[in-house]
Structure 1
Amino acid sequence: MLTTTQNDPSAAAPVGIAPSGHRLPAATRLGRVRLQVADLERSLAWYQRVLGMRVLDRQAVEATLGAHGDDEPLVVLRERRGARPVPPRGRLGLYHYALLLPDRPALGAFLLHLATSGERAGASDHLVSEALYLNDPDGLGIEVYADRPRDAWQVQDREISMSTVPLDAQGLAVAARTTVWNGMPAGTRVGHVHLHVGDIAAADAFYHQGLGFDRVVWSYPGALFLSAGGYHHHLGLNTWAAHSPAATEDDARLLDWEIALPDRAAVEATAASLRAAGHAAEAEAGEATASDPWGTAVRLAARPA
């Protein structure tokens, strides 16, 4: 476990280790995730009832979901009838994707909603954030979380201090105060994606040196956390399922996840960096797609904030 180090949070400590070449812009954020599910109707019912998401678009075998009062796509569900659920040991590919709520009262309201819904959830305090964990009907992992203020994050020798300790559920519930859960609130975003990979060094070569994320947490056992702009992480990578097979086209899985870049020039520069590192990535019309060594696809898109 990586424990916190007491620092003066007001000190402008440098954060992270930049790649030696191309570096993602500080304005980088994440866009939607696209998931393959076994039964679209079943998944839609769960995502609306449990997560309180709103259907933005519906096609025969695909639906796009977002928050209430907000038209930004967060999750795309695509049906493959009979897709196999995620086994308890996991698969190489998605560990979880994470929905970042606007504030702590919203997370407290979601906690109270879960308590009345009968849905099982895990809970953790990561020092930089507080988080609740669920699995959808196909076993795909989901984190719903709220960040602590950046000036409360601790940094030691450029590394952001993160841990996994028990969540103060009572304090979080109290924080909800008069906030009532009426569905996923406006301002919710995909905050990060966490992947099972086969090897940390190979993952670092793709995502840090190739794609251009900074390393921000590297002392967590079996894991590496990367980000742009000094965030605690946009991407988590772990080897906790390294001996499991990769998800296949017949499995419930992450089809791709999106990195939203400020302009086309950033997309083209990032695609060029990936190609220079030996990975296929062709940029066209402000978009590009590449796959990591375990077949997980990442999509680059020009999406000004």
Structure 2
Amino acid sequence: MQFTRRHTLKFAGISCAASALAGALKAEGAVSVAGPASALPFALTTPMHIGQAALRVRDLDQMIEYYRSVLGMNEVERTARGVTLGVGTVPLLDLVHKPAADFESPTSAGLFHIAYLMPSRKDLARWLVHAALKQVPLTGFADHNVSEAIYLNDPEGNGIEVYSDRPKDTWVWSGRVVKMGTEPLDVDDLVKLTDTKRSDYEAAPPGMRIGHVHLRVGEIAAARAFYETAVGLQPTQDARSDASFLSSGGYHHHLAVNTWNSRGAKERNAMETGLDWFSLTVRNPDDLEAQKTRLRAAGYVLVEMENNVVEAIDPWGTRLRLVPA
């Protein structure tokens, strides 16, 4: 069976394009990492980039099956604490088993979504056909100028974005500010790139990575003091009072923060579900030392971990790991 945008929305459980775009408006204002730098997605070539993320989950088996069947991840490692999922041998997502945890409120600080970057637009199209034919509920579609994105939630309410970047030389910059809008996604044009009669998405493409993380925070100024001033990410959109987008090395954003549902939120409850930690991979050892100096000077407590990894905690209790490349 072939389908158009209307069919995609129907299969996804969204009644009309307006519903999908509304979801996207709220969601955003095949090469391995070991390969040559020239072959990497731009998001991963910058001085810092997202490495992994970890979720605290109640139903471990259900969550493993979801990320396997919907995103095509495979099991990389299993421990007493939970399971690490990824692509091949590359770890991306830790699922930390907390069967007695309460569900985190959507108005608390925490995760807004984890964004999985597809290596190509065709891979995004292949994934969309796969999701539609599986009747995976989707919450939004958007053309963000710099990227094309599709939104959904996992069974425990953790936000997910699946996206592909447009070529970097098509991004429009005004000084340090990049144009990122929210327009309707041309699904018909996207799915022209693949077979719409069947799914050929049997596993995540080898180059799929976490491109960015989007957080709910209690206050934008405090978030920027931590992630911009102390950690060293640069703003790429900061004119809004309710959201900020930050990046390293001229990417459109590796991190976003918003207060849309969480303004005034206090410290998170570590015994609830949701984001446990996420990591930034830091290429230059001198940059990592400078980060540690700035964080300590600002009064943040650092925890030294194995393999020279350093963990800091943001003002709402979200743990950030700084990992040397």
TM-score by length of 2: 0.80
1:250 aligned partner: 271
CA distance in 1, matches of 2:210, 2:174: 27
Q: Report 1 or 2 for greater relative contact order, CA contacts < 8 Å, sequence distance ≥ 6.
A: 1
Task: Select 1:108's aligned residue among 125, 136, 150.
Answer: 125
1:277 aligned partner: 298
Task: Give the drift of 1:42.
Answer: 1.0
Q: Deviations over 1:24-56 (max 9, x none)?
A: x94211111011000111111111111111111
Mapping for residues 1-305 of structure 1, pairs under 5 Å: 26-67=46-87, 70-87=88-105, 89-121=106-138, 122-176=140-194, 180-220=200-240, 222-240=242-260, 241-244=262-265, 246-283=267-304, 285-303=307-325
Gap change, CA 1:263 and 1:154, over 3 Å in 2 = closer
Task: Give the drift of 1:266.
Answer: 2.9
Secondary structure in structure 1 of the residue aligned to 2:192: helix
Secondary structure in structure 2 of the residue aligned to 1:265: helix
CA contact 2:220–2:241 (8 Å) conserved in 1: no
Q: Deviations over 1:71-96 (max 9, x none)?
A: 21110001100323344x44211111
Secondary structure in structure 2 of the residue aligned to 1:73: strand
CA distance in 2, matches of 1:177, 1:59: 38
Matched residue type, 2:228: H
Displaced runs of 4 or more, over 6 A: none
Aligned residues: 277
Task: Give the drift of 1:253.
Answer: 1.1
Task: Give the drift of 1:263.
Answer: 4.4
Structure 1, unaligned runs of 5 or more: 2-24
CA distance in 1, matches of 2:141, 2:158: 16
Q: Deviations over 1:239-259 (max 9, x none)?
A: 112145554123211110000
CA contact 1:39–1:82 (8 Å) conserved in 2: no
Matched residue type, 2:120: D
Give the share of equivalent positions with the same residue, in percent.
Answer: 39
TM-score by length of 1: 0.85
CA distance in 2, matches of 1:110, 1:86: 28
1:11 aligned partner: none
CA contact 1:134–1:141 (8 Å) conserved in 2: yes
2:42 aligned partner: none
CA distance in 1, matches of 2:81, 2:309: 24
CA contact 1:264–1:286 (8 Å) conserved in 2: no
Structure 2, unaligned runs of 5 or more: 1-24, 26-44
CA distance in 1, matches of 2:166, 2:269: 37
Gap change, CA 1:135 and 1:246, over 3 Å in 2 = farther
CA distance in 1, matches of 2:308, 2:68: 32
Q: Deviations over 1:172-214 (max 9, x none)?
A: 1112359931221101111011011111111111111111011
CA contact 1:92–1:198 (8 Å) conserved in 2: yes
Name the Cα RMSD after superposition. 2.0
Task: Give the drift of 1:57.
Answer: 1.0
